[in-house]
Structures are given as C-alpha cells and as structure tokens.
Amino acid sequence: MNSREKRSLLSLYDPCRLCPRHCSVDRLSGQKGFCGEAARLRVAHIEAHFGEEPFFTGVNGSGTVFFSGCSLGCRYCQNYQISRKGMGKSTSVLAVAQRILDLWAVQSIHNVNLVTADHFLPHIIALVHELRERGATLPVIYNSSGYQRPESLRLLEPFVDIYLPDFKYGDAKLAENLSRAGDYPAKALEAIEEMLRQKGFLEVCKDHQDFSRGSSPRIAQKGVLVRHLVLPGQTRNSMDALTMLFIEFGADLPLSLMSQYAPAGNDLPDELGRELWPEEFRQVLEHAMGLGFRRILYQPLIPGLRGRGDRPFVPDFRRKRPFAGNIKASCSRGKRGPFFQEAQGKDFSLKTNPSPGPGTLAKTSTDTA
Ligand code: SF4
C-alpha cells in the first residue's frame, strides 16, 4: 500500500462517519466520537481464541484481535473493560500483523478474527493488506455488533471473507435503552443485507455437520453467520428479532443462538443483573425453530452457572490471559471450548427441569469448558 493510498484511508477519520453514529469529529486531530477512540490504533489483546463456534475455532483456535472502543457500547457488554472503559494499548498495523503471523506460524490458527473493529476500519484495511502482502492465506472474520453502515462495509468487501454480525434487537426502545441506538433494528438489517450480498450464507452451514465437542469440523472459509444473544427478561425482543431476520432473509440464514449472557459491569439495569433462565432460552429457540430456520447452532444452557469461575469465556482484560477457557482449550486441541449443538430435526430435544427457572433445555454436555 503506497503512501497516497494510506493517506486516503486515514482521511476517513476526518470527519468520521464510519458508523451510523455519524459523529463527524476529526479523529486525526485527537477528537473522539461515541466509540471513544481517536485515530491511533488501540488493541487490548490478541491470542488464539476458542470461544467461537466450532467451525471458526477448530482445533487450533481463531487468531482473535480485541480492539479497544466500540461504536455501539451496550450497557451489558461482557467486554466492557475494553469496549467502554478504554483498556488497551496504542499499537501499529505492522505490530498487529506480526503477532498474527506469529500465531499462524507457531499455533496454526485457522483464521484472523477481528472483534468490533468498525471504528478502526482504515487500519483494518491496511492490516489485511499487510497480512496478504506477507503471504497469509488465512480467512478474515469480521466479528461485529451489526450496527454498521453499508457504505463502510462496501470498503471492506475485498478484505473480509466471513461476516459474523450480531442482530441484537427487534425492539427499538430496548436498543435505545441498552445501547443508545433506537435505529439499531433498521441499521443492522441494512448492514446484514449488504454482508449477504457480498458473501452469501456461511458455506460451512450448507451441509449437515457434526458439531459435537472433540469433532474436527470443516473450517469456515466464506459467508455470513448471524448471532443473537438472548438477554434475561427480554424474550419478546429476541423473538421479534428472529422474526425480522426470517422475514428479511429466509429459512436458510445461518443462525447462532447464544445463551452465554453473564452480568458484567456496573451500568446494568435491574433486569439484566441476573443469569438467563433456561426457560427463557427454550422459548426463543422454539420460536426460531417454529419460524422454520433450517440452520441453527445454539449453546445448550447449563443450569446453575454462577460467576466467572463457571464461565471461562467471560474475560477479565486485567489479566495477561483474559480468557481462562483459552488456556484449557489450547491444551486440549479445542476439546474444551464452549459447546454448541445444532438444532435440526430429531437432534433437537427438550425436557423440563425445575431449577433455576421453570424449565430447561436438555443438558447435552458434561461441562461448559
Ligand atoms: S466510528 Fe466512532 S467517531 Fe466514527 S462515527 Fe462511529 S462512533 Fe462516531
């Protein structure tokens, strides 16, 4: 990338309209918008991560870069230390590229996984360009909040292989309350439409696969997988969100339904101060299946989890290794990563259990990490 191309990329920071917030601040001169970041690249952590779906983590892990700041800034974010509290260090594109190349050489990571990177889009383009110049053939995953501009996504088209967006809200009022983004449902649907136009449905989800722990699933190479995290007390929002996705994109949209919510930070409204009840997750999963989605991965919700000790993929970025689960998983070639199950036909089973909510999903794994 020559200096003229670099200058042209950096000009996207002034005025910054990279995301739907449209702050229009001059980040090049040090101003910060809603995302809390100026134009210096800042990163909190990079490692082989095992907390993603099995076709991303495989047996060697996903080379994951956790950026500082966030343009959505949800009150319940489990990464709040870096997304909202500013943890992380200034670094350079060359240093990040070198770290990824080292992980590839030493640990054989399966891909590059860029987490919440929208506010650093110019640096992301330069980073992927650098990796390719230096021979990296790893698929690039763009792991995002869904609150994105199609115009920005079009700039990423040649540099991203897999989009992994959230679709968090069907309820605009809830989006306003929890993320100060009442336009989230409309903006995220537009963004996902653009992602699908570029990459289509995640290819690995087109065929039936064994996603059980310890299997060696094919590693995803290209496409879109949409995630939805079910929040405590917000099943209506989840069901509305899934209905919207079904109406817009149809039954073949690959979905990852997540039950891993854990209270984090000190800005939580009362209703988010508890774990998700199994009955709540069951309702949402049943709704997704009732709509007719054909490709659903979900995390079986194990009753009775309490605190970080039970949740090895809830990070503490004050530690050198923020994810306790990555230490165990890297020693077991991915066998101790989070468990996902495919909801498809007879594989799907429910049974009741009185604790801690009025019902529970069948427990399908022996532990959670
Ligand atoms: S990336 Fe940050 S500064 Fe730019 S528009 Fe979004 S929130 Fe504002």
d(CA 199, CA 166): 16
* pLDDT value of position 363: 29
Residue 70 domain flag: yes
Q: What is the mean pLDDT of each successive set of 10 residues along the chain, which is 369 residues long? A: 89 98 98 97 96 91 97 94 94 98 96 98 98 97 98 98 98 97 98 98 67 63 97 97 98 94 87 92 96 91 61 84 80 62 49 31 28
List of residues 6+ apart from 28 with CB closer than 8 A:
10, 13, 14, 38, 39
Ligand 1 centroid–CA 313 distance in Å is 28
Residue 34 domain flag: no
Using the atom order of ligand 1, give the atom closest to the CA of residue 27.
Answer: 3
* pLDDT value of position 28: 97
The response to whether residue 119 sits with its C-beta less than 6 Å from ligand 1 reads yes
Hey, whose CA ends up nearest to atom 6 of ligand 1?
19
Ligand 1 centroid–CA 19 distance in Å is 6
Domain count along the chain: 1
Residue 17 domain flag: no
- The answer to whether 232 and 277 have CB atoms below 8 angstroms apart is yes
Ligand 1 centroid–CA 65 distance in Å is 19
Q: Which of 25, 29, 35 to mutate to test the pocket of ligand 1 (most atoms within 8 A of CB)?
A: 35
* pLDDT value of position 135: 97
Residue 8 domain flag: no
* pLDDT value of position 348: 38
Could you tell me the two tokens for 52? 């993603």
In a 3-state reduction of DSSP, which class is residue 253? coil
* pLDDT value of position 184: 98
* pLDDT value of position 352: 28
Using the atom order of ligand 1, give the atom closest to the CA of residue 32.
Answer: 3
Global pTM reads 0.89
* Strands across the sheet containing 112-115: 89-90, 42-49, 62-67, 112-115, 140-144, 162-165, 223-224
Hey, whose CA ends up nearest to atom 2 of ligand 1?
35
The number of C-alpha atoms within 13 Å of 221 and in the hemisphere containing its C-beta is 4
Residue 145 domain flag: yes
* pLDDT value of position 354: 29
Ligand 1 centroid–CA 246 distance in Å is 30
Which CA distances in Å does 80 have to 100, 147, 215, 229, 314? Answer: 24, 17, 32, 16, 11
Residue 354 domain flag: no
CATH of the domain at 299: 3.20.20.70
* pLDDT value of position 265: 82
* pLDDT value of position 216: 57
Q: Which of 10, 12, 17 to mutate to test the pocket of ligand 1 (most atoms within 8 A of CB)?
A: 17
* pLDDT value of position 334: 57
Range of the domain at 130: 41-342
Hey, whose CA ends up nearest to atom 1 of ligand 1?
119
- What b-and-e string marks burial along 269-293, b requiring 16 or more CB atoms within 10 Å of the CB? eeebeebbbbbbbbbbbebbbebeb
